[in-house]
């Protein structure tokens, strides 16, 4: 196999994907999908499992390679470094026969066009087998390797959550559960639970929210009854709580300012399909995802590709009754679903994100009707993006007041409500609701 060609086996493909994320800072979803398109069907699930698993534990696995290798591999051999992580991940976290893991991982070198690396991979994985007790002990000496997070993020989470930080980091390393949202235009939650039971798919209703179902075991959603017809959608339980806060009524004009891929747009429309919902996103390519979702669910929204903060470019001067800002954020509440965040985010991103969120709030507030509601949400656990962002906004806007929510969607903060990742099995999420006086 020539170098740089898409690999045709799971382990080599995973190494290429992980290298793209770690060295070239590409988002996991896109590169993984492309790599899977070159794989035989039997290899796609293993490739995905390896990519998510390695990226989840990457700071720890990289610390182990630091102990095993005399010197780091060259930058141009990032795929071999990644393959080593793939090998270590299988030995540490997967219940597979070790001899098979080592021989398959060694064989992947040829797929990557680097047969010279066979000896190195073989020797390093075997050294790990011999020395794993000592290695594991050394891992507990450093927070990055112990908790498998970058130090800057550990520091920020610790600073924000002095009592909960370890539980947050642990929850970020868990496998996420699969939640469904029942489309109440087509069926009821109880009717769908009955259908799942008939098909022997174990599931329970969520305790918070009226439309949520938690599957006992994640599975391919296209195999679920009625999925393609729009009976259910995939959406975490925490994100499902937003629609109730928006509190839609008939005949409202609603702005979903950061809408792609359209999870909340669709949930809002499932509650009142005749409402006029404008769904905006700055990323034109992501509008297609909203369209696919509204089509599947047979819902209609007005889609616009624009910077929501650049109001003169898209607003028709008619105010909104509800504005949802599901803001671009650090994603620190959803790391268990997107472990590449550990690689892709930098501490310097947070200032920029806070500034963007502030600009969205500032520029969209005047578009709200008197007595209208602005709902601000993020999937972040960092207070600067959440509670502190809201406190600063309220201090600057005497015509804004916070609406207290019952039932509370999460734990009360000075302003807003914060769910930490893993609480009630859900993602980390922040919610605040403001009324215009
Ligand atoms: C957290 S995601 C939204 C998820 C979505 N609300 C859902 O429930 O499926 C944030 C979105 O904001 C978009 N975005 C970022 N900056 C924006 C801006 N200035 N104007 C509009 N959209 C923006 C991103 O492209 C991204 O799709």
Q: What is the pairing mode between strands 400-402 and 276-281? A: unpaired
What is the C-alpha separation between 420 and 433, in angstroms, rounded?
18
> Hey, what CATH topology would domain 10-142 get?
N-utilizing Substance Protein B Homolog; Chain A (1.10.940)
Q: What is the pairing mode between strands 320-326 and 368-378? A: parallel
What is the C-alpha separation between 433 and 402, in angstroms, rounded?
6
Q: Tell me if 50 sits within 8 A of 90, measured CB to CB.
A: yes
CATH number at 179-234: 3.30.70.1170
CA atoms within 13 A on the CB side of 235: 26
Report the nearest atom of ligand 1 relative to the CA of 308.
20
Measured in angstroms, how far is the CA atom of residue 20 from the centroid of ligand 1? 24
**Residue bearing tokens 């382990």:** 11
Catalytic (active site) residue 379: yes
Q: Tell me if 181 sits within 8 A of 237, measured CB to CB.
A: no
Please determine whether the domains at 10-142 and 179-234 fall in the same fold group of CATH: no
In tens digits, what is the pLDDT along the chain, a chain of 437 residues? 445 789 899 999 999 999 999 999 999 999 999 999 999 999 999 999 999 999 999 999 999 999 999 999 999 999 999 999 999 999 999 989 999 999 999 999 999 999 999 999 999 999 999 999 999 899 999 999 999 999 999 999 999 999 999 999 999 999 999 999 999 999 999 999 999 999 999 999 999 999 999 999 999 999 999 999 999 999 999 999 999 999 999 999 999 999 999 999 999 999 999 999 999 999 999 999 999 999 999 999 999 999 999 999 999 999 999 999 999 999 999 999 999 999 999 999 999 999 999 999 999 999 999 999 999 999 999 999 999 999 999 999 999 999 999 999 999 999 999 999 999 999 999 999 999 99
Report the nearest atom of ligand 1 relative to the CA of 331.
1
* Residues in Cβ contact with 63 at an 8 Å cutoff, skipping those fewer than 6 apart: 139, 142, 144, 145
Describe the crossing of helices 165-172 and 151-160 by its angle, rounded to 10 degrees: 130
Residue in 259, 287, 367 to alter for ligand 1 test, most ligand atoms within 8 A of Cβ: 259
Q: Is 3.40.50.2300 the CATH classification of the domain at 239-436?
A: no
260 lines ligand 1 (CB under 6 A): yes
Residue in 254, 267, 282 to alter for ligand 1 test, most ligand atoms within 8 A of Cβ: 282
Q: Tell me the domain boundaries of the chain.
A: 10-142, 179-234, 239-436
Q: Which tokens is 251 given?
A: 């005949």
Using DSSP, state whether 10 is helix, strand or coil: helix
Q: Which tokens is 338 given?
A: 């997107």
Residue of 51, 266, 329, 379 with catalytic role: 379
């Amino acid at each position: 196999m020539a170098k740089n060609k898409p690999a045709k086996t799971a382990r080599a493909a995973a190494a290429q994907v992980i290298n793209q994320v770690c060295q070239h800072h590409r988002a996991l979803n896109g590169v993984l999908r492309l790599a899977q398109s070159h794989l035989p069907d039997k290899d796609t699930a293993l490739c995905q499992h390896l990519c998510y698993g390695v990226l989840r534990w990457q700071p720890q696995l990289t610390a182990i390679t630091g102990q095993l290798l005399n010197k780091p591999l060259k930058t141009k051999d990032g795929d071999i470094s990644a393959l080593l992580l793939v090998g270590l991940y299988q030995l540490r976290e997967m219940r597979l026969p070790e001899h098979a893991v080592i021989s398959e991982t060694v064989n992947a070198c040829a797929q990557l066009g680097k047969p010279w690396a066979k000896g190195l991979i073989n020797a390093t994985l075997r050294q790990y087998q011999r020395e794993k007790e000592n290695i594991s002990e050394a891992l507990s000496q450093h927070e990055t390797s112990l908790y498998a997070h970058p130090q800057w993020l550990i520091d920020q989470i610790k600073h924000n959550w002095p009592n909960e930080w370890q539980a947050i980091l642990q929850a970020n390393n868990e496998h996420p559960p699969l939640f469904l949202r029942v489309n109440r235009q087509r069926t009821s939650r109880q009717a769908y639970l009955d259908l799942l039971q008939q098909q022997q798919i174990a599931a329970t209703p969520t305790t918070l929210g009226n439309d949520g179902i938690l599957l006992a075991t994640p599975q391919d959603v296209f195999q679920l009854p009625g999925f393609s017809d729009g009976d259910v959608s995939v959406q975490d339980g925490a994100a499902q709580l937003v629609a109730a806060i928006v509190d839609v009524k008939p005949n409202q004009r609603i702005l979903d300012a950061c809408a792609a891929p359209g999870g909340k747009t669709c949930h809002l429309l499932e509650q009142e399909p005749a409402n006029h919902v404008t769904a905006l996103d700055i990323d034109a390519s992501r509008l297609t995802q909203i369209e696919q979702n509204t089509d599947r669910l047979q819902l209609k929204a007005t889609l616009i590709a624009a910077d929501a903060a650049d109001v003169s470019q898209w607003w028709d001067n008619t105010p909104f009754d509800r504005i949802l800002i599901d803001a671009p954020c650090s994603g620190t509440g959803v790391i268990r679903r997107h472990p590449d965040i550990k690689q892709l985010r930098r501490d310097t991103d947070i200032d920029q994100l806070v500034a963007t969120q502030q600009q969205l709030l500032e520029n969209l507030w005047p578009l709200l009707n008197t007595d209208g509601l602005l709902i601000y949400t993020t999937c972040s656990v960092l207070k600067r993006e959440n509670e502190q962002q809201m406190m600063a906004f309220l201090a600057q806007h005497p015509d804004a007041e916070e609406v207290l929510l019952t039932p509370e969607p999460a734990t009360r903060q000075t302003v807003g409500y914060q769910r930490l990742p893993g609480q009630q099995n859900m993602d980390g999420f922040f919610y605040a609701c403001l009324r215009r006086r």
